[in-house]
Amino acid sequence: MFAYYFQLGLRSLRRNPLLTALMVMAIGFGVAASMITYSVFRATANNPIPQKSDQLYAVQIANWKPEDLDKSEPPDALTYTDAVALMQAHRARRQTALYPVGPSVVPADASQLPFRETTYAWYGDAFAMFDIPFLYGGAWSAAEDGAHAPVAVLGKALNDKLFNGANSVGKTINLDGHDYRVTGVIDTWNPQPMFFDASNTQGFGDPAELFIPFTRAIDQQMGGAGNFNCSATPGSGWEARLRSECIWIAFWAELPSAAEAAGYKRFLRGYAAEQQHAGRFNWAPNVRLRNVTQWLDFEKVVPPESKISLLVSLGFLLICLVNTIGLLLAKFMRRAPEIGVRRALGASRKTIYAQFLVEAGAVGLAGGVLGLLLTGLGVLGVGLVFDPQIARLATLDFSLMGLTLLVATLATVLAAFYPTWRAAQVQPAWQLKSN
Protein backbone atom coordinates (compact mmCIF):
# COMPACT_ATOMS: atom_id res chain seq x y z
CA MET A 1 0.00 0.00 0.00
CA PHE A 2 2.88 2.34 0.84
CA ALA A 3 4.26 1.87 -2.66
CA TYR A 4 0.88 2.80 -4.12
CA TYR A 5 0.69 5.96 -2.01
CA PHE A 6 4.23 6.83 -2.94
CA GLN A 7 3.39 6.41 -6.60
CA LEU A 8 0.26 8.55 -6.19
CA GLY A 9 2.35 11.15 -4.38
CA LEU A 10 4.94 11.33 -7.13
CA ARG A 11 2.25 11.63 -9.77
CA SER A 12 0.58 14.40 -7.87
CA LEU A 13 3.88 16.22 -7.41
CA ARG A 14 4.53 16.04 -11.13
CA ARG A 15 1.09 17.49 -11.82
CA ASN A 16 1.93 20.85 -10.17
CA PRO A 17 5.63 21.12 -10.86
CA LEU A 18 5.76 24.79 -9.86
CA LEU A 19 4.05 24.32 -6.52
CA THR A 20 6.18 21.25 -5.86
CA ALA A 21 9.37 23.10 -6.76
CA LEU A 22 8.34 25.92 -4.44
CA MET A 23 7.83 23.58 -1.53
CA VAL A 24 11.02 21.64 -2.16
CA MET A 25 12.98 24.88 -2.35
CA ALA A 26 11.43 26.31 0.79
CA ILE A 27 12.26 23.17 2.74
CA GLY A 28 15.68 22.83 1.16
CA PHE A 29 16.69 26.39 2.01
CA GLY A 30 15.20 26.27 5.47
CA VAL A 31 16.85 23.01 6.38
CA ALA A 32 20.17 23.96 4.82
CA ALA A 33 20.34 27.27 6.72
CA SER A 34 19.57 25.48 9.97
CA MET A 35 22.05 22.70 9.33
CA ILE A 36 24.90 25.01 8.33
CA THR A 37 24.54 27.13 11.43
CA TYR A 38 23.93 24.03 13.51
CA SER A 39 27.19 22.50 12.28
CA VAL A 40 29.02 25.58 13.59
CA PHE A 41 27.06 25.59 16.81
CA ARG A 42 27.74 21.89 17.29
CA ALA A 43 31.45 22.47 16.86
CA THR A 44 31.56 25.33 19.33
CA ALA A 45 29.23 23.75 21.87
CA ASN A 46 31.13 20.47 21.78
CA ASN A 47 32.19 18.78 25.00
CA PRO A 48 35.94 18.35 24.38
CA ILE A 49 36.57 15.73 27.06
CA PRO A 50 33.24 14.00 27.73
CA GLN A 51 34.71 11.17 29.79
CA LYS A 52 36.13 13.58 32.35
CA SER A 53 34.28 16.84 31.90
CA ASP A 54 32.68 16.48 35.32
CA GLN A 55 35.93 15.58 37.06
CA LEU A 56 38.12 18.44 35.92
CA TYR A 57 37.60 21.79 37.60
CA ALA A 58 38.88 25.27 36.83
CA VAL A 59 39.62 27.32 39.94
CA GLN A 60 38.78 30.99 40.45
CA ILE A 61 39.68 33.09 43.46
CA ALA A 62 38.61 36.70 43.89
CA ASN A 63 41.88 38.51 44.54
CA TRP A 64 40.45 41.86 43.43
CA LYS A 65 38.19 44.04 45.50
CA PRO A 66 34.49 43.47 44.85
CA GLU A 67 33.98 46.71 42.87
CA ASP A 68 36.62 45.61 40.34
CA LEU A 69 34.74 42.38 39.64
CA ASP A 70 32.27 41.83 36.84
CA LYS A 71 28.92 40.83 38.42
CA SER A 72 30.86 39.67 41.53
CA GLU A 73 32.47 36.88 39.51
CA PRO A 74 36.11 36.27 40.47
CA PRO A 75 38.54 36.85 37.57
CA ASP A 76 38.93 33.95 35.14
CA ALA A 77 42.59 33.36 35.95
CA LEU A 78 44.85 33.33 39.01
CA THR A 79 47.80 35.33 40.19
CA TYR A 80 51.18 33.62 40.36
CA THR A 81 50.93 33.80 44.15
CA ASP A 82 47.65 31.88 44.31
CA ALA A 83 48.57 29.38 41.59
CA VAL A 84 51.80 28.44 43.39
CA ALA A 85 50.03 28.26 46.77
CA LEU A 86 47.43 25.85 45.37
CA MET A 87 50.15 23.74 43.72
CA GLN A 88 52.01 23.51 46.98
CA ALA A 89 48.87 22.63 48.96
CA HIS A 90 48.42 19.69 46.56
CA ARG A 91 44.87 19.05 47.77
CA ALA A 92 43.41 17.55 44.59
CA ARG A 93 44.08 14.08 43.18
CA ARG A 94 45.98 15.84 40.39
CA GLN A 95 46.42 19.53 39.63
CA THR A 96 48.23 21.87 37.35
CA ALA A 97 48.84 25.56 36.91
CA LEU A 98 49.29 26.52 33.29
CA TYR A 99 49.85 29.43 30.97
CA PRO A 100 50.72 29.81 27.29
CA VAL A 101 54.30 30.77 26.54
CA GLY A 102 56.05 31.82 23.37
CA PRO A 103 59.55 30.34 23.14
CA SER A 104 61.12 30.00 19.74
CA VAL A 105 62.24 26.60 18.57
CA VAL A 106 65.75 26.80 17.11
CA PRO A 107 66.32 23.89 14.72
CA ALA A 108 69.66 22.04 15.00
CA ASP A 109 70.06 22.49 11.27
CA ALA A 110 71.45 26.03 11.11
CA SER A 111 70.08 26.57 7.60
CA GLN A 112 66.55 26.45 9.00
CA LEU A 113 64.86 29.49 10.49
CA PRO A 114 63.67 29.49 14.09
CA PHE A 115 59.91 29.16 14.49
CA ARG A 116 57.26 29.19 17.15
CA GLU A 117 54.61 26.68 18.08
CA THR A 118 51.69 26.98 20.46
CA THR A 119 53.38 26.12 23.75
CA TYR A 120 52.09 25.57 27.27
CA ALA A 121 53.97 25.71 30.50
CA TRP A 122 52.34 23.36 32.99
CA TYR A 123 52.96 20.51 35.42
CA GLY A 124 53.63 16.85 34.61
CA ASP A 125 50.24 15.90 36.09
CA ALA A 126 48.45 17.69 33.26
CA PHE A 127 49.08 14.93 30.71
CA ALA A 128 47.25 12.34 32.80
CA MET A 129 44.59 14.84 33.88
CA PHE A 130 43.66 15.73 30.34
CA ASP A 131 43.91 12.13 29.06
CA ILE A 132 46.63 13.05 26.58
CA PRO A 133 47.74 9.96 24.60
CA PHE A 134 51.47 9.34 24.26
CA LEU A 135 53.18 8.01 21.16
CA TYR A 136 56.61 7.68 22.76
CA GLY A 137 57.83 8.08 26.33
CA GLY A 138 55.67 9.94 28.79
CA ALA A 139 55.24 12.97 30.99
CA TRP A 140 58.08 14.43 32.98
CA SER A 141 58.11 13.50 36.67
CA ALA A 142 57.03 15.47 39.72
CA ALA A 143 60.67 15.55 40.70
CA GLU A 144 61.52 17.26 37.44
CA ASP A 145 58.74 19.78 38.11
CA GLY A 146 60.31 20.39 41.49
CA ALA A 147 63.79 20.70 39.99
CA HIS A 148 62.64 23.21 37.35
CA ALA A 149 64.20 20.80 34.88
CA PRO A 150 64.74 21.72 31.21
CA VAL A 151 62.52 18.96 29.82
CA ALA A 152 59.82 19.02 27.16
CA VAL A 153 57.03 16.97 25.64
CA LEU A 154 56.52 17.34 21.90
CA GLY A 155 53.34 17.24 19.86
CA LYS A 156 53.19 14.74 17.00
CA ALA A 157 53.39 17.40 14.30
CA LEU A 158 56.40 19.07 15.91
CA ASN A 159 58.13 15.71 16.36
CA ASP A 160 57.49 14.96 12.69
CA LYS A 161 58.99 18.32 11.80
CA LEU A 162 62.06 18.08 14.03
CA PHE A 163 62.76 14.34 14.08
CA ASN A 164 60.86 13.05 11.03
CA GLY A 165 58.49 11.22 13.33
CA ALA A 166 61.19 9.08 14.95
CA ASN A 167 61.18 8.29 18.67
CA SER A 168 62.89 11.40 20.04
CA VAL A 169 62.70 10.55 23.73
CA GLY A 170 66.05 11.42 25.34
CA LYS A 171 67.06 13.76 22.51
CA THR A 172 67.29 17.50 23.03
CA ILE A 173 65.62 20.44 21.40
CA ASN A 174 66.68 24.06 21.57
CA LEU A 175 64.24 26.65 22.86
CA ASP A 176 65.41 30.25 22.82
CA GLY A 177 69.00 29.04 22.90
CA HIS A 178 68.57 26.56 25.77
CA ASP A 179 68.53 22.79 25.49
CA TYR A 180 65.52 20.79 26.68
CA ARG A 181 65.42 17.02 26.93
CA VAL A 182 62.45 15.33 25.34
CA THR A 183 60.64 13.02 27.77
CA GLY A 184 57.75 12.11 25.54
CA VAL A 185 55.91 12.63 22.27
CA ILE A 186 52.14 12.81 22.35
CA ASP A 187 49.79 11.57 19.69
CA THR A 188 47.47 14.04 17.96
CA TRP A 189 45.64 15.86 20.72
CA ASN A 190 43.47 18.82 19.89
CA PRO A 191 40.41 19.12 22.10
CA GLN A 192 37.85 21.47 20.61
CA PRO A 193 37.09 23.83 22.25
CA MET A 194 40.50 24.14 23.97
CA PHE A 195 38.89 24.04 27.38
CA PHE A 196 42.15 24.09 29.37
CA ASP A 197 42.99 27.58 28.08
CA ALA A 198 39.57 28.95 27.18
CA SER A 199 40.35 32.34 28.67
CA ASN A 200 43.12 33.06 26.14
CA THR A 201 41.97 31.13 23.10
CA GLN A 202 38.25 31.75 23.46
CA GLY A 203 38.16 28.02 22.85
CA PHE A 204 39.76 27.88 19.44
CA GLY A 205 43.32 28.16 18.30
CA ASP A 206 46.16 26.23 16.79
CA PRO A 207 46.75 22.88 18.54
CA ALA A 208 49.41 22.87 21.26
CA GLU A 209 52.61 21.24 20.00
CA LEU A 210 55.05 21.84 22.84
CA PHE A 211 54.88 21.52 26.62
CA ILE A 212 57.49 22.53 29.21
CA PRO A 213 57.44 22.58 33.01
CA PHE A 214 55.71 25.57 34.52
CA THR A 215 58.54 25.97 37.05
CA ARG A 216 61.12 26.09 34.27
CA ALA A 217 59.18 28.71 32.30
CA ILE A 218 58.99 30.92 35.37
CA ASP A 219 62.75 30.48 35.95
CA GLN A 220 63.36 31.53 32.38
CA GLN A 221 61.12 34.59 32.91
CA MET A 222 59.00 33.53 29.97
CA GLY A 223 56.31 36.14 29.65
CA GLY A 224 52.90 34.82 28.85
CA ALA A 225 51.64 34.62 25.30
CA GLY A 226 48.17 35.20 26.72
CA ASN A 227 46.22 37.78 28.67
CA PHE A 228 47.72 39.63 31.59
CA ASN A 229 45.06 41.55 33.48
CA CYS A 230 45.56 43.85 36.40
CA SER A 231 43.40 45.87 38.71
CA ALA A 232 46.39 48.03 39.61
CA THR A 233 49.64 48.70 37.77
CA PRO A 234 52.03 45.88 38.67
CA GLY A 235 55.27 47.78 39.00
CA SER A 236 58.46 47.06 37.10
CA GLY A 237 60.40 43.87 36.67
CA TRP A 238 59.80 40.13 36.65
CA GLU A 239 59.70 39.79 40.42
CA ALA A 240 57.08 42.53 40.63
CA ARG A 241 55.07 40.63 38.05
CA LEU A 242 55.15 37.46 40.15
CA ARG A 243 54.23 39.38 43.30
CA SER A 244 51.51 41.43 41.60
CA GLU A 245 47.75 40.97 41.84
CA CYS A 246 47.66 40.61 38.06
CA ILE A 247 46.01 37.44 36.80
CA TRP A 248 47.48 35.31 34.01
CA ILE A 249 47.57 31.69 35.15
CA ALA A 250 44.91 29.00 34.79
CA PHE A 251 44.56 26.35 37.44
CA TRP A 252 42.92 22.95 36.97
CA ALA A 253 42.18 20.32 39.60
CA GLU A 254 41.11 16.72 39.02
CA LEU A 255 38.38 15.79 41.51
CA PRO A 256 36.80 12.46 40.53
CA SER A 257 33.88 12.54 42.98
CA ALA A 258 31.37 15.11 44.09
CA ALA A 259 32.63 14.68 47.64
CA GLU A 260 36.16 15.53 46.59
CA ALA A 261 34.88 18.55 44.66
CA ALA A 262 32.97 19.76 47.70
CA GLY A 263 36.04 19.18 49.83
CA TYR A 264 38.20 21.14 47.45
CA LYS A 265 35.72 24.01 47.39
CA ARG A 266 35.90 24.11 51.21
CA PHE A 267 39.68 24.15 50.97
CA LEU A 268 39.53 27.08 48.50
CA ARG A 269 37.24 29.02 50.81
CA GLY A 270 39.59 28.31 53.65
CA TYR A 271 42.53 29.52 51.58
CA ALA A 272 40.70 32.74 50.70
CA ALA A 273 39.79 33.21 54.37
CA GLU A 274 43.46 32.83 55.28
CA GLN A 275 44.38 35.50 52.77
CA GLN A 276 41.70 37.68 54.32
CA HIS A 277 43.19 37.17 57.78
CA ALA A 278 46.65 37.84 56.47
CA GLY A 279 45.32 41.18 55.21
CA ARG A 280 45.81 40.47 51.49
CA PHE A 281 42.06 40.28 50.78
CA ASN A 282 39.83 42.88 52.34
CA TRP A 283 36.68 40.99 51.52
CA ALA A 284 34.90 37.74 52.27
CA PRO A 285 36.10 34.62 50.45
CA ASN A 286 34.73 34.51 46.92
CA VAL A 287 35.83 31.40 45.05
CA ARG A 288 34.51 29.27 42.20
CA LEU A 289 35.06 25.71 41.10
CA ARG A 290 33.68 25.07 37.63
CA ASN A 291 33.80 21.81 35.73
CA VAL A 292 34.66 21.73 32.03
CA THR A 293 31.18 22.37 30.68
CA GLN A 294 30.45 25.08 33.24
CA TRP A 295 33.80 26.65 32.48
CA LEU A 296 33.20 26.72 28.72
CA ASP A 297 29.82 28.23 29.37
CA PHE A 298 31.29 30.86 31.69
CA GLU A 299 33.97 31.73 29.15
CA LYS A 300 31.26 32.13 26.48
CA VAL A 301 33.12 29.83 24.14
CA VAL A 302 30.10 29.54 21.86
CA PRO A 303 30.37 32.84 20.00
CA PRO A 304 27.24 34.99 20.02
CA GLU A 305 27.40 34.94 16.20
CA SER A 306 26.90 31.21 16.31
CA LYS A 307 23.92 31.40 18.66
CA ILE A 308 22.24 34.29 16.89
CA SER A 309 22.67 32.75 13.47
CA LEU A 310 21.38 29.40 14.73
CA LEU A 311 18.32 31.14 16.14
CA VAL A 312 17.73 33.14 12.99
CA SER A 313 18.11 29.98 10.92
CA LEU A 314 15.61 28.11 13.05
CA GLY A 315 13.21 31.03 12.60
CA PHE A 316 13.90 30.78 8.90
CA LEU A 317 13.06 27.07 8.94
CA LEU A 318 9.86 27.84 10.84
CA ILE A 319 8.80 30.31 8.17
CA CYS A 320 9.62 27.80 5.47
CA LEU A 321 7.41 25.29 7.25
CA VAL A 322 4.53 27.75 7.57
CA ASN A 323 5.00 28.35 3.88
CA THR A 324 4.90 24.61 3.25
CA ILE A 325 1.73 24.20 5.30
CA GLY A 326 0.07 26.84 3.13
CA LEU A 327 1.23 25.33 -0.14
CA LEU A 328 0.34 21.79 0.91
CA LEU A 329 -3.08 23.02 1.94
CA ALA A 330 -3.52 24.58 -1.47
CA LYS A 331 -2.29 21.46 -3.16
CA PHE A 332 -4.42 19.05 -1.19
CA MET A 333 -7.60 21.10 -1.29
CA ARG A 334 -7.30 21.56 -5.02
CA ARG A 335 -7.83 17.85 -5.12
CA ALA A 336 -10.98 17.94 -3.02
CA PRO A 337 -13.05 16.47 -5.88
CA GLU A 338 -10.56 13.63 -6.25
CA ILE A 339 -10.71 13.03 -2.51
CA GLY A 340 -14.50 13.02 -2.70
CA VAL A 341 -14.41 10.39 -5.40
CA ARG A 342 -11.85 8.30 -3.52
CA ARG A 343 -13.95 8.54 -0.41
CA ALA A 344 -17.05 7.56 -2.40
CA LEU A 345 -15.10 4.60 -3.77
CA GLY A 346 -14.51 3.39 -0.25
CA ALA A 347 -11.32 5.09 0.94
CA SER A 348 -11.40 5.57 4.70
CA ARG A 349 -10.12 8.69 6.45
CA LYS A 350 -7.11 6.67 7.49
CA THR A 351 -6.17 5.85 3.93
CA ILE A 352 -6.52 9.51 2.95
CA TYR A 353 -4.21 10.39 5.86
CA ALA A 354 -1.70 7.79 4.78
CA GLN A 355 -1.79 8.84 1.14
CA PHE A 356 -1.24 12.53 1.81
CA LEU A 357 1.33 12.11 4.54
CA VAL A 358 3.35 9.86 2.27
CA GLU A 359 3.09 12.50 -0.43
CA ALA A 360 4.30 15.14 2.02
CA GLY A 361 7.10 12.85 3.10
CA ALA A 362 8.22 12.62 -0.52
CA VAL A 363 8.27 16.42 -0.74
CA GLY A 364 10.24 16.55 2.51
CA LEU A 365 12.74 13.99 1.29
CA ALA A 366 13.25 15.93 -1.94
CA GLY A 367 13.66 19.10 0.15
CA GLY A 368 16.16 17.24 2.30
CA VAL A 369 18.20 16.20 -0.73
CA LEU A 370 18.26 19.81 -1.94
CA GLY A 371 19.04 20.87 1.62
CA LEU A 372 21.93 18.43 1.68
CA LEU A 373 23.42 19.97 -1.45
CA LEU A 374 22.97 23.47 -0.08
CA THR A 375 24.39 22.43 3.29
CA GLY A 376 27.43 21.03 1.55
CA LEU A 377 27.92 24.31 -0.29
CA GLY A 378 27.21 26.30 2.84
CA VAL A 379 29.69 24.40 4.98
CA LEU A 380 32.34 25.27 2.41
CA GLY A 381 31.32 28.90 2.73
CA VAL A 382 31.19 28.98 6.52
CA GLY A 383 34.68 30.48 6.52
CA LEU A 384 33.15 33.67 5.13
CA VAL A 385 31.08 34.16 8.24
CA PHE A 386 32.93 32.61 11.12
CA ASP A 387 36.46 32.74 12.40
CA PRO A 388 38.53 30.30 10.32
CA GLN A 389 39.55 28.53 13.54
CA ILE A 390 35.89 27.73 14.11
CA ALA A 391 34.84 27.42 10.48
CA ARG A 392 37.16 24.50 9.84
CA LEU A 393 35.40 22.55 12.56
CA ALA A 394 32.08 22.80 10.75
CA THR A 395 31.97 19.75 8.52
CA LEU A 396 29.33 17.81 6.69
CA ASP A 397 29.70 14.36 8.22
CA PHE A 398 27.38 11.39 8.07
CA SER A 399 25.50 12.33 11.19
CA LEU A 400 24.83 15.83 9.81
CA MET A 401 23.72 14.37 6.47
CA GLY A 402 21.36 12.00 8.24
CA LEU A 403 20.08 14.81 10.40
CA THR A 404 19.46 17.02 7.36
CA LEU A 405 17.31 14.39 5.65
CA LEU A 406 15.57 13.48 8.89
CA VAL A 407 14.74 17.08 9.83
CA ALA A 408 13.52 17.85 6.32
CA THR A 409 11.26 14.82 6.10
CA LEU A 410 10.00 14.97 9.65
CA ALA A 411 9.34 18.70 9.53
CA THR A 412 7.44 18.39 6.27
CA VAL A 413 5.34 15.49 7.50
CA LEU A 414 4.59 17.50 10.65
CA ALA A 415 3.69 20.48 8.51
CA ALA A 416 1.42 18.23 6.47
CA PHE A 417 -0.74 17.20 9.41
CA TYR A 418 -3.10 20.14 9.22
CA PRO A 419 -3.55 20.09 5.42
CA THR A 420 -4.02 16.32 5.58
CA TRP A 421 -6.58 16.63 8.31
CA ARG A 422 -8.43 19.13 6.16
CA ALA A 423 -8.24 16.79 3.19
CA ALA A 424 -9.57 13.91 5.25
CA GLN A 425 -12.53 16.06 6.26
CA VAL A 426 -13.73 16.13 2.66
CA GLN A 427 -17.07 14.30 2.55
CA PRO A 428 -17.70 11.74 -0.15
CA ALA A 429 -20.52 13.88 -1.55
CA TRP A 430 -18.98 17.25 -0.86
CA GLN A 431 -17.75 17.86 -4.34
CA LEU A 432 -21.28 17.45 -5.73
CA LYS A 433 -22.63 20.20 -3.57
CA SER A 434 -19.88 22.76 -3.89
CA ASN A 435 -19.39 24.94 -6.87
- Closest CB to another protein among residues 262, 308: 308
Q: Is 234 in the site for another protein (CB under 8 A)?
A: yes
Q: Mind giving me the DSSP string for 87-130?
A: HHH--SSEEEEEEEE-PEEE-SSTTSPPEE--EEEE-THHHHHT
- Dihedral (Cα; 269, 274, 280, 284), 10-degree rounding: 40
Q: Is 307 in the site for another protein (CB under 8 A)?
A: yes
Residues pairing with 229 in the sheet: 247
Judge contact between 362 and 413, C-beta under 8 A: no
Rg (CA), the chain: 30
Q: Is 280 in the site for another protein (CB under 8 A)?
A: no
Q: Is 435 in the site for another protein (CB under 8 A)?
A: yes
Judge contact between 280 and 82, C-beta under 8 A: no
Helices and strands per DSSP (H, E), number in the chain: 17, 12
How wide is the angle at C-alpha 296 spanned by C-alphas 295 and 297, nearest 5°?
90
Contacting another protein (CB under 8 A), which of 101, 301, 327, 362?
327
370-429 positions binding another protein, by CB under 8 A: 384-388, 418, 422
- Evaluated on CA atoms 212, 216, 222, 226, the torsion sign reads positive
Q: What's the min distance (Å) between Cβ of 418 and another protein?
A: 7
- Closest CB to another protein among residues 129, 327: 327
Under DSSP, the state recorded for 232 is S
Contacting another protein (CB under 8 A), which of 94, 156, 241, 288?
241
Q: Is 236 in the site for another protein (CB under 8 A)?
A: yes
Q: Is 72 in the site for another protein (CB under 8 A)?
A: no
- Closest CB to another protein among residues 96, 309: 309
Residues pairing with 60 in the sheet: 288
Q: Mind giving me the DSSP string for 148-193?
A: T--EEEE-HHHHHHHHTT---TT-EEEETTEEEEEEEEE-----SS
- Closest CB to another protein among residues 47, 231: 231
Q: Is 272 in the site for another protein (CB under 8 A)?
A: no
212-231 positions binding another protein, by CB under 8 A: 223, 230-231
Q: Is 325 in the site for another protein (CB under 8 A)?
A: yes
Q: Which stretch binds another protein (CB under 8 A): 134-142, 187-195, 314-322, 341-349?
A: 314-322
What residue ranges bind another protein (CB under 8 A)? Answer: 18-19, 22, 25-26, 29-30, 33, 64-65, 68, 102, 104, 106, 113-116, 176-178, 223, 230-234, 236-238, 240-241, 303-305, 307-309, 312-313, 315-316, 318-320, 322-323, 325-327, 329-331, 333-334, 384-388, 418, 422, 433-435
